[in-house]
Structure 1
């Protein structure tokens, strides 16, 4: 789990956080009810925050074995974000960023506080997905494509997706991956949501019919012509009546489904959604 600012607490060493897979499975299988205890992975930024103008923290992380890829958010006035690399020790004793290679990512729209919040890594490429891909805010949504050394390899067209795209899973052998799709009532106006074709096609669940927020997973697939929606319906979450949950992280959990994590709103929550 990647904090936007791993060194936010001045008195503590910069950390990423991990939770034991065995402990997660024990909770899902109801063999224990003990609280999950995150472990700190020391984070060495190699001073990248001082070398990137307008640095405003980290937005996404993905791994290919011991190689790590992260996106960096900068002030809106810079008009860009950055893609950087790092290396994680096999024993999780440290994740250290590398001064190079590094790539810049031009922001395709002026939506306030929107950035590149999702990365997808395969055997031969790294895809960076922008957060705002609705028809009213992004006329030509596309994933920025790079090889594993961060040499650019063009763009892959994306379907228009209303609301925010806040993270993505790994890609399977058929080029399929899932993205987190979220809308918070307090900030939805900035994304100028249009009529949602996914709701028109698949309908809405009982809690989504009653509440203004959107919390769902959408499956996409990389094809030679670009990235397309698959025929699988979105996985709509059962919404909480207390507060919208700002889901900003998602990973596959074997064939069981997906692990999710929120930012600090309404608190840091770890969730599980069964697979389709």
Structure 2
């Protein structure tokens, strides 16, 4: 049985025309490619930008939601300077063998959860950790005693647990490679808030890399960030995405995947949504929803976002790259 939203016989995997991407103009320290961002998440009204190596970056970065909405309704080219907060990992970077940085972040009130990637003896490992927001000192403090080992379902270089979210009091963790030819166990791990493994949910086979997920809404709907660089074709061994189709090994894929929690696990809930990322493939690593209600007054300058004219509602997904080809923060309006 085909899941809703999966390609139908004879149809292209991406039936929707590429959605435009509106790019913000980042300025200050966060604009440097050396920040190597690996995840996005919301803490209250702040968009948290997670560097893969927070110690190198000097911490985490925040952008206020109002600033993003203002740019979309006025001028996306106006500079945004993210604010840096201290990040204390309690020695996790040194205590985890083969530490290769942070890959995902999510918040539940003032509690923060994160995934860490590691490579030891040529094998990939994942770690799930928790921490807290220290409001008094404007910093994030991780608890090294909380760390839980995550065993990858498949051994692929530089592939581990790349995404997580908090839903209905549970912490849900996603593996990066879920293609038919490389991962025989496409599941997600579900933990309690105290990081005790409680169950494994079914997850649809999804080609290429799953690099982040947005938070889930009250109905359990969310979006995955799905990326493919053709230089990883041999590694990921993409399968055909529908009957009568050939495997794609020669075209970059930059798209959003609508997902939702169901009685059977997690399913694809609609058509795959490619977006126009630009002339060069960009290594999209972070995703977060952005929604804002309509205003009584407002004006849009950029024609790409004309659906927000007159201060109309905004609904889409923010996406961010790591260092390749540069630090890019963009917005994809959902149809």
- TM-score, length basis structure 2: 0.74
Equivalents in 2 of 1:31, 1:131: separation in Å? 35
Q: Structure 1 residue 5: deviation in Å?
A: 0.7
Match for residue 63 of structure 2? 19
Equivalents in 1 of 2:321, 2:219: separation in Å? 28
* Secondary structure in 1 matching 2:168: coil
Equivalents in 2 of 1:92, 1:169: separation in Å? 27
Equivalents in 2 of 1:35, 1:199: separation in Å? 47
Residue 97 (structure 1) aligned to one of 116, 127, 142 = 142
Q: Structure 1 residue 155: deviation in Å?
A: 0.7
1:151 aligns to 2:196 (yes or no): yes
Q: Structure 1 residue 46: deviation in Å?
A: 0.9
The residue correspondences of 1:22-41 to structure 2 (distance < 5 A) are 22-30=66-74, 33-41=77-85
Match for residue 218 of structure 2? 173
Equivalents in 1 of 2:137, 2:72: separation in Å? 24
Equivalents in 2 of 1:174, 1:28: separation in Å? 27
Equivalents in 1 of 2:261, 2:324: separation in Å? 32
Decide whether the 8 Å contact of 1:85 with 1:100 is kept in 2. no
Equivalents in 1 of 2:64, 2:235: separation in Å? 37
Single out whichever of 33-42 and 63-72 deviates more from structure 2: 33-42
* Secondary structure in 2 matching 1:19: strand
Equivalents in 2 of 1:249, 1:39: separation in Å? 18
Match for residue 204 of structure 1? none
Decide whether the 8 Å contact of 1:179 with 1:219 is kept in 2. yes
Counting matched residue pairs gives: 261
1:253 aligns to 2:290 (yes or no): yes
Equivalents in 1 of 2:263, 2:143: separation in Å? 32
- CA deviation vs aligned residue, 1:123-175 (integer Å, no higher than 9, x gap): 32111100000000001210011011111112111100000000000011111
Q: Structure 1 residue 91: deviation in Å?
A: 6.6
1:223 aligns to 2:289 (yes or no): no
Equivalents in 2 of 1:195, 1:187: separation in Å? 16
**Larger relative CO (CA 8 A, sep 6+): 1 or 2?**
2
Residue 102 (structure 2) aligned to one of 58, 61, 73 = 58
Gaps of 5+ in 1: 201-208
- CA deviation vs aligned residue, 1:175-218 (integer Å, no higher than 9, x gap): 11110000011223211000023996xxxxxxxx9x71000000
* Secondary structure in 2 matching 1:187: helix
- CA deviation vs aligned residue, 1:72-102 (integer Å, no higher than 9, x gap): 1111535421000011134781001012322
Match for residue 6 of structure 1? 54
Decide whether the 8 Å contact of 2:124 with 2:158 is kept in 1. no
Equivalents in 1 of 2:135, 2:83: separation in Å? 15
Q: Structure 1 residue 258: deviation in Å?
A: 1.0
**RMSD of the TM alignment (CA)?**
2.0
Equivalents in 2 of 1:228, 1:156: separation in Å? 10
Return closer, same or farther for 1:175/1:83 CA change in 2, 3 Å cut-off. Answer: same
Equivalents in 1 of 2:136, 2:162: separation in Å? 27
Equivalents in 1 of 2:220, 2:148: separation in Å? 23
Single out whichever of 160-169 and 107-116 deviates more from structure 2: 107-116
Match for residue 118 of structure 1? 163
Residue 264 (structure 1) aligned to one of 308, 312, 323 = 323
Decide whether the 8 Å contact of 1:261 with 1:269 is kept in 2. yes
Equivalents in 2 of 1:33, 1:70: separation in Å? 31
The residue correspondences of 1:54-93 to structure 2 (distance < 5 A) are 54-77=98-121, 78-90=123-135, 93=138
